Amino acid sequence: MNFYLLDVVDAPVVHSGYRIFIAIVALTILVEALVMLLMKYNLFKKALLDSFLVNIASLVIGFVLAELVNDIFNSYKLPDLLLLCAITIGVESGILYLLNRKHRVPKTLGTCVVMNLASYFLFYLFTLSR
């Protein structure tokens, strides 16, 4: 199985059907919005919108990178997975900060790290069920 692990989406999910792909993306957006709410980063509606925007951005970057640097996307090695998670956090925290300049950078970065750890953990659970 080839993993395109940039924010909880893998290529086999896309190839097995868009309904599953959409469900995974929707669950990711919801989970990350709930993390923002629990961390008192934003109210739910704003958190949901922000989560949608940052996840769409990281998906686009993920699919572009998958075409350019395919090696790290087909690896189960921990360094490669950590690199993908770091890319996701970098992309999403930058956009999240631009959407919420009222928050300081450390608060945005901390929130982004926690929300992505939660979504990557859920992705891991999903892969166990396959």
In this predicted model, what pLDDT tens digit does every residue of 5-35 receive, in sequence order?
556 445 445 556 677 778 888 889 999 999 9
pLDDT, tens digit, 9 for 90 and up, residues 57-109: 988 888 788 778 777 666 666 677 778 888 899 999 999 999 999 999 999 99
Q: How many domains does the chain have?
A: 1
- pTM of full prediction above 0.75: yes
- The answer to the question of residue 95 being in a domain is yes
Domain that residue 49 falls in? 11-128
For residue 40, the surrounding DSSP H or E stretch is none
- Residues of 62-79 as b/e, b for ≥16 C-beta within 10 angstroms? bbebbeeeeebbebeeee
- The answer to the question of residue 2 being in a domain is no
- The answer to the question of residue 56 being in a domain is yes
Report whether 3 contacts 74 (CB < 8 A). yes
Rounded to the nearest 10 degrees, the angle between the axes of helix 105-128 and helix 78-99 is: 140
